[in-house]
Amino acid sequence: MILREEQLPDFVKEMVERIGMEAQRLSFFTRSLLSFARSDADVDTEADVNLVLQEVMDFLRYEARKDSIMVIEEKDFDLPPIAADANKLKQVFINLIMNAFQAMEDGGTLLLKTYAADGPFVAVELADTGKGIPVGAIDHIFEPFFTTKAANEGTGLGLYITRHIIERLGGKIQVRSVVNEGTTFTLLFPL
């Protein structure tokens, strides 16, 4: 007997949607890892950080709801585009947002903020109310294979790749963290 979609229970529909999202995420991760390994020259294009952030949040909104995470967005919509490949920016934002979600195991708040910064730079700030990064670990978080997660939860490559992409775009990444209060990553992209 074959059931039509409208005959499926809601939890089955939700699981099918989740499987599709995870397949997209894994496909994106695999393409990103291959691109990183090839060290292709960055595509000379422009990207709107607000639009890229919106696309990433459309992709991750289910994850936030599932984990009881409130996402607050404060965006400056008058920002000029930056010289960057949108797919590489997506990889950066997905890495940082997923790390933030994992740091807020019991729910919390994630602030996504964009603004013009001195330099001139376009700034993207991602601030979570998670468990924070231990003082001894913060100096090592951008090293390859360094992780504070359990062995089956991370590879220690996400922040390393994130910093590498940002630096190739001529940008900077800054981090502030307080244990049991949260972590803020500030990304600065040159105009």
User: What are the tokens at 106?
Assistant: 């019991």
Using one digit for the tens of pLDDT, what is the confidence trace for 34-79?
Answer: 655 554 444 568 999 999 999 999 999 999 999 999 999 999 999 9
Give the integer Cα–Cα distance in Å for 17 and 79: 34
Instruction: Give the strand order in the sheet containing 69-74.
Output: 69-74, 108-117, 121-128, 182-190, 172-178
Q: Tell me the residue ranges of DSSP E strands in the chain.
A: 46-47, 69-74, 82-83, 108-117, 121-128, 172-178, 182-190
- Tell me, which fold does domain 7-190 have in CATH? Heat Shock Protein 90 (3.30.565)
**Predicted local distance difference test score (pLDDT) of residue 12:** 78
Is there a contact between 157 and 149 (Cβ–Cβ < 8 Å)?
A: no
Q: What is the pLDDT along the chain (191 residues), one digit of tens a residue?
A: 666 777 778 877 788 777 877 776 666 666 655 655 554 444 568 999 999 999 999 999 999 999 999 999 999 999 999 999 999 999 999 999 999 999 999 999 999 999 999 878 999 999 999 999 998 898 888 888 777 666 666 667 889 999 999 999 999 999 999 999 999 999 999 98
Residue 41 DSSP label? P
* Per-residue model confidence (pLDDT) at position 23: 75
pTM for this model (two decimals): 0.77
User: What distance in Å separates the CA atoms of residue 188 and residue 137, rounded to the nearest whole number?
Assistant: 23
pLDDT at position 25: 63
* Residue 183: Cβ within 10 Å count: 23
**Which pLDDT does position 32 carry in this prediction?**
58
Q: How many CB atoms lie within 10 A of CB 57?
A: 17
The domain ranges of the chain are 7-190
Which residues make beta-bridge pairs with 184? 127, 176
Residue 137 burial by Cβ neighbours in a 10 Å radius (0-12, 13-18, 19+): middle
User: How far is 186 from 124, CA to CA, in rounded Å?
Assistant: 6
